């Protein structure tokens, strides 16, 4: 099997599975209990918080563990609802777990502004300047696009916020960035940052939200007061500790260099067959994600045909792949026919160039066969 849908999920490290089993079967204690074994677990969980802050390059703030990125995004956004004439700003390029929060805020009567993308796929910074103001409560923007691999310029966004919306808080969905590109959250004054374990070889069902100033947030789940009252519910200790193991097994700089080579090799191999220039790529800053368009053939058809060859690619966000259209590509100016022809290829540093080249070759000949049938 050649798996090229790593933006959807990654295979859990065997070492992380071992850690998960250890904390599920041996060190299974509830952190909220009062005896020593439970207090040990509490200390170990706090060590994971510090590790996450180290990767984010922050010295202060809090880390709240959640059931995944969707919950973290919901907590950052819905936990910032306030009475009054506050406004909430999002980009058209957001993941469904953010975009649908924006739509829910709108349904509840809040003023929500959706900023389009420019032709390169980044949030349109010029338009962002015109829509934020002293009433802006929250700006929420994705760091690395899960659809295209485009990286939004957090420095520009922070400057716009400071100059035009000094009261606004900044939430960044960092799911496709955490553990994959170097981060410096403190530099950009980010108030909330989301991450998810299963995107970097940890388990599904566990994520976290970094919070710069916990007093700026309100909880949206009520219960026993875990996570300092901001996320009630018994902590997923096995998941949190397996998340830690996954982080500890990652070398960001080394992996980034390797994945860049994989991405380049894939494109070169595909181009070597494509003498008629029917295949095009969206130029992205993150090498982990590549959006590819195949003229005249439906991307989903290509995806399904590749399954028979044991090669797996995606057609966009796994959380919205069953829905028609693609608002991210639409906002970039692609027409409907072009959007239908896209697939998403996402790489991982555990792969090698030989299998990537083989996959590119098989993808091309799969496309060629389909093209001959539909042209």
Q: Tell me, yes or no, if 25 is annotated catalytic.
A: no
Main-chain phi, psi angles of 289, to 5 degrees: -130, 135
Which element (helix H / strand E) includes 279? strand 279-281
Q: How many CB atoms lie within 10 A of CB 143?
A: 25
Edge-first strand order for the sheet with 111-115 is: 62-66, 207-211, 192-196, 169-173, 136-142, 87-91, 111-115
Please, are residues 282 and 299 in contact by the beta-carbon 8 Å criterion?
Answer: no
CA distance 314 to 347: 11
Please, are residues 101 and 73 in contact by the beta-carbon 8 Å criterion?
Answer: yes
CA distance 56 to 76: 17
Catalytic one of 55, 220, 318, 319: 319
CA distance 230 to 234: 12
Main-chain phi, psi angles of 143, to 5 degrees: -80, -65
Active site residues: 319
């Amino acid at each position: 099997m050649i798996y090229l849908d790593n933006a959807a999920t990654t295979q859990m490290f065997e070492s992380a599975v071992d850690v998960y089993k250890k904390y599920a079967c041996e060190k299974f204690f509830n952190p909220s209990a009062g005896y020593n074994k439970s207090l040990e677990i509490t200390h170990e969980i706090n060590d994971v918080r510090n590790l996450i802050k180290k990767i984010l390059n922050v010295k202060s703030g809090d880390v709240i563990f959640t059931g995944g990125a969707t919950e973290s995004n919901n907590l950052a956004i819905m936990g910032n609802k306030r009475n009054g004439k506050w406004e909430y700003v999002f980009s058209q390029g957001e993941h469904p777990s953010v975009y649908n929060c924006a739509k829910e805020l709108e349904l509840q009567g809040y003023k929500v502004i959706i900023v389009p993308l420019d032709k390169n796929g980044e949030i349109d910074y010029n338009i962002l300047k015109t829509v934020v103001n002293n009433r802006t409560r929250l700006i929420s923007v994705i760091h690395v696009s899960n659809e295209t691999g485009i990286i939004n310029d957090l420095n520009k966004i922070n400057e716009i916020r400071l100059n035009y919306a000094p009261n606004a808080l900044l939430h960044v969905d960092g799911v496709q960035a955490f553990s994959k590109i170097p981060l410096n959250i403190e530099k950009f004054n980010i108030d909330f940052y989301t991450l998810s374990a299963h995107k970097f070889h940890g388990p599904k069902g566990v994520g976290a939200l970094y919070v710069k100033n916990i007093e700026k947030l309100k909880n949206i789940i009520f219960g026993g007061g875990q996570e300092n009252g901001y996320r009630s519910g018994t902590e997923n200790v096995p998941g949190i500790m397996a998340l830690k193991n996954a982080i500890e097994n990652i070398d960001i700089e080394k992996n980034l260099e390797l994945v860049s080579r994989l991405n380049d090799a894939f494109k070169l191999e595909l181009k070597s067959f494509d003498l008629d220039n029917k295949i095009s790529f969206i130029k992205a800053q993150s090498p982990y994600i590549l959006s590819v368009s195949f003229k005249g053939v439906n991307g989903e058809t290509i995806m399904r045909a590749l399954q028979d060859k044991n090669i797996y690619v995606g057609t966009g966000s796994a959380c919205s792949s069953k829905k028609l259209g693609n608002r991210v590509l639409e906002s970039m100016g692609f027409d409907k026919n072009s959007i239908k022809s896209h697939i998403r290829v996402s790489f991982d540093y555990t792969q090698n160039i030989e299998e990537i080249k083989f996959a590119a070759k098989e993808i091309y000949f799969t496309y060629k066969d389909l093209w001959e049938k539909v042209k």
